[in-house]
Amino acid sequence: MKNKIILMLMSFSLAVQAYGQDVLSGIVVDNLGKPVASAKVSLENSVAFTLTDEDGMFSITAPKGAGLFIETPTNDAKSIVVGDEKKIKVVMDYASKSVSVNPLIAGQTNEEATSAVATVDSEELMKSSALSIRNALFGKVLGLTALQGSGSTWDEKAALSIRGLQSLSGSGILVLVDGFERPIDDLTTEEVESVSILKDAAAVALYGHKGINGAILVKTKRGMYDAMNIDISYDHGFSKAVRLPKFVNAYTYAQAMNEAYRNDGKGVRYSQYELDAFRSGDLPYLYPDVDWMDETIGDMGHSNIYNISFQGGGKKMRYYTMLNLESSSGFFKNTDTNEGYSNQNEYSRGNIRANLDITISKTTNLQVNLLGILTEYNHSQPNKIMDNLYTLPAAAYPIKTEDGIWGGDLTWPGINPVANLQAKGYDRSHARTLMADMTLRQELDFITKGLGASLRLGYDNATTYWEVRSKSYKYASDVLNFENGLPANITRIGGGQDNELSFTKNMNGPMYRRFNFIAQLDYKKDFAKSKLYTTLMWHFNHSVQQNRHNTLNHVNFSSYTHYGILDRYFVDLALVGSASNRLPVNYKFTFSPTLSAAWVLSKESFLSDVSWINLLKLRASAGILHSDYVPEWNITSDAFGGGGNYFYGDNFNNYAGVAEGRLPTTNFKHERALKYNVGIDATFFGGLTFMGDVYFQRRDQIMVGQGGRTSSVLGLNPAYVPLGRVDSKGVELGLSYEKAHGDFLITGGARFTLAKNKVIEKLEQPVAEEYLRTTGLPMGQPFGLEAIGFFKDDADIASSPKQLFSEVAPGDIKYKDQNKDGFIDDNDKVAMGYNMGTPEGYYAFNAGIEYKGIGIDFLFQGATRYSAWLNAKSVYRPLAGNCTISEHYYANRWTPETPDALYPRLTSDSNPNNNQSSDLWLADASFLKLRHCEVYYKLPKAWINKVKMKSAKLYVRGMDLFSIDKMDIFDPEVIGVSYPADRSVHVGVRVGF
């Protein structure tokens, strides 16, 4: 009876307590006012939570003064204090967006982050129909430079760099997928939640040696609480090759060769009879006129992207699964002429992903990520085909002889591009990739509240092998012989032989295995006016790749602490010890400290009442990072090599001796980066966001050779020494706007990056003239001769400084004698232009407007302070070596009648004088491109709800539609003899259930 009374009193007490609490209802919306479904709403310091419904609504029992914590499915987070209101509206604005520099670190928001990080989310990425996620990043993330690559579809992935060129040892960046080092090329845009660019020392500190040049952190999509969303999409693309050079017809080629022969003092190459035959076209098998480019490159390529994904789950398990299929076919013509196979440039890939979050108990969580990829490539060696097209003149021979044999002769043997495309077989590769990782998280509140531990395991395996199915073909051409200047008889010239397909198999494709193990212990504590988060991590990375010296082991032991006071002063401290097997014995370990801080001015009393300022934050960081770069393995040991033959007794013996090679390094130091960054983050008027950073970096202790200060009399290769140094600095400015005005949704933005560098020391070899020094200039600074016109005549040549590269004639390039010594040689080359791999200036701007589901969106991206050499054969180096000639060159060549032409005289011989690097061949590669433009229609919910759909979107999208630049022929990003650049138009549909 006594126990029953006690239970009744306890129940009554709990009922009174519950009655005294208030039930709070509310809605969670994003910065555009759209409801956020499946957001987790919980009382701080409590395991109980509720979830928002599809309309963003929630209700929770929360007393006045309680702390409420809201977290969205994308980890955006916001804390509020419950007041007197019974209903609230929570806006997940810019300040509440999640910022992560490491998946194992407790999520921070933009408001309290102290590091320089820029992020683009999945909604922006999926505005691109690029088959490579690299190419979906053009101009979209502040601080990242992305430039179009060249080659086949699978090779044209954008080259990525962060804050420009940084070191003499290289500027390669680290790519992380869900915290593990993995290739970004293996991902599709569909499976990516966000891409973050980690730029300053504070952002990359925890990644040890590999993060020294910056990092890209890719976060894949995850499941959602109490939801089940199905997303289906299809995208079909039509692509067209652009900026292909036009080569002259047979008659013009024959005229050009005759002109070149006369310039070379050789008479003429083609008689008047032959010229007339080329012009009339009456003898196509003897005097052909073949447009090889038109016969080989078709009008249209195609691509397809199919996707279906499932996202949802309950309180115990959340899931994201996806099946994505991509395919692409190239521009080559008539590739299905062989039974059983195609010679087309084709690519197909299938990605299967499963991401699971499992709540094992209230204190134990398991995360599992699986990704399987199957890829197949099919081609007929496109680079060789393109080389054929840039070599073979229209007058060489017909595609086939009159009796059906492939065209060919002894001058241009076996380079018939149509035959090489259709009758040489094909190459096909198969790539298989598996990526798997798991994270086990255990809260240790039973020891002390706020303590937790995690274990992560990751394993990746990738293999590529090639099937080479080759064959050869018989070729021939007919030549008309002349007697006394008149046609006499026909001679057949031929070679090669027909055979069937042969098969070989090799494993020359990329292969690797990678294993990761991460152990972590962390502690989180909220005090009355401050909060603390601190963690210890141990990370072991083991990777094995093909070829020698490619088994790499890296270990990081790190401590990271984040401390905030009054929700407006934040400081982060990272202490990282790193080791690498690349480093010499006794030098395996480095220690790297980083300190960063942020001050949220908008929460100060003097700004807190300014309604139009939503966020105003200053931040700064400084740190010392180290690299495990070594120019050679075992540089601290003696190196020996073959000493050649030697005498033994009275005889010369053909035995290899042993000679000492490079001397050992006795004062090895780790390459070091001292990074400093100052930044500002701000949002105004509820939709205008600004981000700005100014940075400086000093890279020193770079291992460089001593060839510049050691005489060759020594007879040995001197040791490497840690005396290289490069300074870099830059500014990054970003502005974006996103806000709903009634039925209108308006978006826009602009981003600008300027990244400069200077080589301070690299032990440069002595130079004859001070202006020849590369020290003190940017890395990769081009040098060349200054062209001052063309030689007018023999008198002009006689009165000018002698040019030592080769004999010159009227119409050859005339150079400036920089040192006034009366000769033109390499000592007259001066610095000119800018780096040809990475522009110093990179910018983009975008805008979009949507009204009741109808919208248009576009993005322009450009580069400045960027150069390129014009040296493609036939286009800028015609005729010599039996090459053809472009229409552009022929129309702009020097002749006595056109002394102010763009290009030098025609010659059939190699001309070292005209082929020197000079400002005549240096082009300004700056450009502004329309990277994408999309017109779309989102079907009204009143329509789609009738068929149980949540969303439906139709779109037409153009990519790389045009470029504004100073290039005459080539695309500024794809210059030279290569598979062409393209523009594409895509039509697509996306529906959600």
Query: Is residue 227 a contact partner of residue 221, using CB atoms and an 8 Å limit?
Result: no
Say whether pLDDT at 536 is over 60: yes
Query: What local confidence, expressed as pLDDT, does residue 13 receive?
Result: 43
Which residues, 6 or more positions from 363, have their beta carbon under 8 angstroms from its beta carbon?
Answer: 442, 443, 444, 445
Say whether pLDDT at 674 is over 90: yes
Say whether pLDDT at 16 is over 50: no
Return the ∠ at Cα 917 (arms to 914 and 922), rounded to 5°.
105
Say whether pLDDT at 64 is over 90: no
How far is it, in rounded angstroms, from Cα 423 to Cα 411?
A: 20
Query: What local confidence, expressed as pLDDT, does residue 499 receive?
Result: 87
Query: What local confidence, expressed as pLDDT, does residue 539 receive?
Result: 96
Residue 879: phi and psi, rounded to 5, are: 70, -45
Q: How confident is the model at residue 304 (pLDDT cuts 50, 70, 90)?
A: very high
Beta strands in 637-706 (DSSP E): 640-642, 646-648, 651-653, 658-660, 672-684, 688-704
Q: What tens digit of pLDDT does each residue of 765-777 get?
A: 889 899 999 999 9
Query: Is residue 707 a contact partner of residue 718, using CB atoms and an 8 Å limit?
Result: yes
How far is it, in rounded angstroms, from Cα 842 to Cα 145?
A: 7
Query: What local confidence, expressed as pLDDT, does residue 9 receive?
Result: 43
Percent of the chain with pLDDT over 90: 68
How far is it, in rounded angstroms, from Cα 978 to Cα 79?
A: 55
Return the ∠ at Cα 949 (arms to 946 and 954), rounded to 5°.
110
Average pLDDT over residues 346-359: 95
Average model confidence (pLDDT) across the chain:
90
Q: What tens digit of pLDDT does each residue of 470-523 get?
A: 888 999 999 998 887 778 889 999 898 888 888 777 766 668 899 999 999 999
Say whether pLDDT at 710 is over 80: no
How far is it, in rounded angstroms, from Cα 456 to Cα 103?
A: 11
Q: How confident is the model at residue 6 (pLDDT cuts 50, 70, 90)?
A: very low
Of the listed ranges 16-20, 406-410, 598-602, 827-831, the least confidently predicted one is 16-20
Say whether pLDDT at 602 is over 60: yes
Q: Which of 758, 792, 790 is closest to 775 using CA atoms? A: 758
Percent of the chain with pLDDT over 70: 94
Buried b (16+ CB within 10 A) or exposed e, 356-381: bbbeeeeeebebebebebebebbbbb
How far is it, in rounded angstroms, from Cα 146 to Cα 723?
A: 31
Q: Which of 720, 679, 728 is closest to 701 using CA atoms? A: 720
Give SS3 for 403.
Answer: coil
Buried b (16+ CB within 10 A) or exposed e, 451-487: bbbbebebbbebbbebebbeebbebbbbebeeeeeee
How far is it, in rounded angstroms, from Cα 153 to Cα 377?
A: 10
Q: Which of 512, 220, 252, 506 is closest to 370 using CA atoms? A: 220
Query: What local confidence, expressed as pLDDT, does residue 1 receive?
Result: 46
The amino acid sitting at 659 is A
How far is it, in rounded angstroms, from Cα 567 to Cα 571?
A: 11
Q: What tens digit of pLDDT does each residue of 617-672 get?
A: 999 999 999 999 999 888 888 777 665 555 455 555 555 566 677 888 899 999 99
Measured in Å, how far apart are the chain's first and last C-alpha atoms?
Answer: 57
Q: What tens digit of pLDDT does each residue of 841-883 get?
A: 999 999 999 999 999 999 999 999 999 999 999 999 999 999 9
Say whether pLDDT at 19 is over 60: no
Q: What tens digit of pLDDT does each residue of 46-60 get?
A: 767 888 888 888 888
Which residue bears the tokens 């070829």? 547
How far is it, in rounded angstroms, from Cα 105 to Cα 560?
A: 9
Say whether pLDDT at 262 is over 80: yes
Return the ∠ at Cα 55 (arms to 33 and 107), rounded to 5°.
70
Beta bridge pairs of residue 177: 180, 218
Query: What local confidence, expressed as pLDDT, does residue 7 receive?
Result: 41
Which residue bears the tokens 């016969």? 295
Residue 423: phi and psi, rounded to 5, are: -130, 15
pTM: 0.90
DSSP for residue 134: G
Tokens of 221: 């999509």
Tokens of 901: 């032409």
Q: What tens digit of pLDDT does each residue of 227-250 get?
A: 899 999 999 999 999 999 999 999
Query: What local confidence, expressed as pLDDT, does residue 10 receive?
Result: 42
Q: How confident is the model at residue 596 (pLDDT cuts 50, 70, 90)?
A: very high
How far is it, in rounded angstroms, from Cα 95 to Cα 109?
A: 6
Q: What tens digit of pLDDT does each residue of 800-816 get?
A: 999 999 999 999 999 99
